[in-house]
Amino acid sequence: MNPPSIPPMLLNEYKKSIPQKLKAIQNLIEQAKQNPLSETLDSLCFAVHKLAGSAGTYGYSEASQLCKELAQKIMNKDKLDLDTFFLNLKKAMN
């Protein structure tokens, strides 16, 4: 999982930031479930889009793909299963 182009120190810093990143996503999911307005979903979409990029860069390809898929579903106004998404994301980020 350690991409060769990422120095170990940076990878360790990223790993330390994962709980904070997950908590932020979880908070946005809770907000979206309580108030599924476009502004709330836009914030969630932006957050998972950012996480998709950083997760992919640091070797968390499954998490990156999950985030890309959720962002696409939000943009397409598809039905969302946010609880399942978050459970899968937590597994992928471990």
Per-residue pLDDT tens for 37-81? 878 999 999 999 999 999 999 999 999 999 999 999 999 999 999
Ramachandran quadrant class, 77 (left: phi over 0; alpha: psi -120 to 50; beta: rest): left
Range of the domain at 53: 8-92
pLDDT of residue 50: 97
Number of domains the chain is built from: 1
CATH, residue 67: 1.20.120
In the chain, pLDDT over 90 holds for what percent of residues?
88
Question: Is 2 inside a domain boundary?
Answer: no
Question: Is 79 inside a domain boundary?
Answer: yes
pTM greater than 0.85: yes
Question: Is 18 inside a domain boundary?
Answer: yes
Other beta carbons within 10 angstroms of residue 57's beta carbon come to: 15
**How far is residue 68's CA from residue 34's CA, in Å, rounded to a whole number?**
23
CA torsion sign for 41, 42, 45, 47 is negative
Helix, strand, coil distribution of the chain in percent, nearest 5 = 80, 0, 20
Question: Is 3 inside a domain boundary?
Answer: no
Question: Is 1 inside a domain boundary?
Answer: no
